[in-house]
Amino acid sequence: MADHPTPSERARELVAGAYDLHLHVAPDVMKRRVDDLSLAPRFAEVGLAGFVLKSHYVPTAERAAVVRAAVPGFGALGAITLNGSVGGMNPIAVEILARSGGQFVWLPTVDSSNQRECQAKEPEGAKPPMWAQLQEELRAEGMAADPVDVLDGDGKVLEITRQVLRVIAKHDLTLATGHLSSDEIETVMDAAVAEGVRRIVVTHPEFTSQRVALERQQRLAAKGALLERCFTTPYTGKVDWRLWLDNIRACGPEASVLTSDLGQPFNPPVEDGLALLADRLLEDGFTDDDVRTMAVRNSRFLAAADREEEK
């Protein structure tokens, strides 16, 4: 993938004002294409309003504050992913994130029971993602975290999960479903809605460890979730572009939000991700307004960018 496509000017204009809600940049425990302080001016230069700093291992609210101070007016947002390195389903960590100005809470990813099971079934010789290699190194050194569960053995939502959801609701944070299984996603989403969580995004439903069926995607959307359509999922061959596009059309653009999931050294520049998605959608017959809805309106809602206007 050395020769990456270049976005059109039309696509750049359509995604102007958007937030990229899912990217992986330095500083991180893995090699990344760019660091957050270098990326923010690039985003601003192409008209993007902000980004969410995702890490599978550490909270990023303090880093986001550094970026905002260095690039005044830029919307850098902090996040936490509830894996073993932060204590798993840890409501205290979520409370501290909120008090530190963070916005996004991912449920377990690399340490979810579902992801562990899916990784164990990977065919021999398959190249694991960067984080999977780190997980294996930790396991080899006897430091593997226990799987982080969100449900009990009967499929009921754990009380600690409900505590996390209540903190999210109290601070009007954004809940992302992480690498949970399709069944877990719907069960936790129902609990989140019951606890008053307003901003919910189903993390890359086409990803290999999610594979959320279309009927369930439509059901989740009807319950108020936005479905995350990541650039890297089809770009790296984890799902066919045709299925990815057909799922968006079947659920409706109003139910989808575009993100890049970029930052890996071998993938395109992070600031190009949303515009590249816009070009692909336009090529498939989606309208300018469809793209604006998915890239800008929905991302700004999940980023709580317009919180003051909503009051």
Question: Quick one: pLDDT at residue 10?
Answer: 98
- In the numeric block, the tokens 């479905």 are attached to 227
Going residue by residue through the chain, which has 311 residues, state the pLDDT in tens, using 9 for 90 and above.
468 999 999 999 999 999 999 999 999 999 999 999 999 999 999 999 999 999 999 999 999 999 999 999 999 999 999 999 999 999 999 999 999 999 999 999 999 989 888 765 554 444 567 777 777 788 888 887 789 999 999 999 999 999 999 999 999 999 999 999 999 999 999 999 999 999 999 999 999 899 999 999 999 999 999 999 999 999 999 999 999 999 999 999 999 999 999 999 999 999 999 999 999 999 999 999 999 999 999 999 999 998 745 54
Question: Quick one: pLDDT at residue 115?
Answer: 87
User: How many whole angstroms separate alpha carbon 27 and alpha carbon 289?
Assistant: 35
Residue 26, Cβ density class (10 Å: 0-12 exposed, 13-18 middle, ≥19 buried): middle
Question: Quick one: pLDDT at residue 126?
Answer: 44
Which segments within 185-294 are labelled E, that is strand? 199-202, 226-230, 256-259
pTM over 0.75? The answer is yes
User: What is the residue type of 155?
Assistant: G
Q: Cβ(20)–Cβ(51) under 8 Å?
A: yes
User: What is the residue type of 186?
Assistant: E
The first and second tokens of residue 207, run together, are 């990803």
Question: Quick one: pLDDT at residue 122?
Answer: 53
Question: Quick one: pLDDT at residue 135?
Answer: 79
Other C-beta atoms lying within 10 Å of the C-beta of residue 236: 15
Question: Quick one: pLDDT at residue 294?
Answer: 98
Question: Quick one: pLDDT at residue 20?
Answer: 99
- The CATH superfamily assigned to 9-310 is Metal-dependent hydrolases (3.20.20.140)
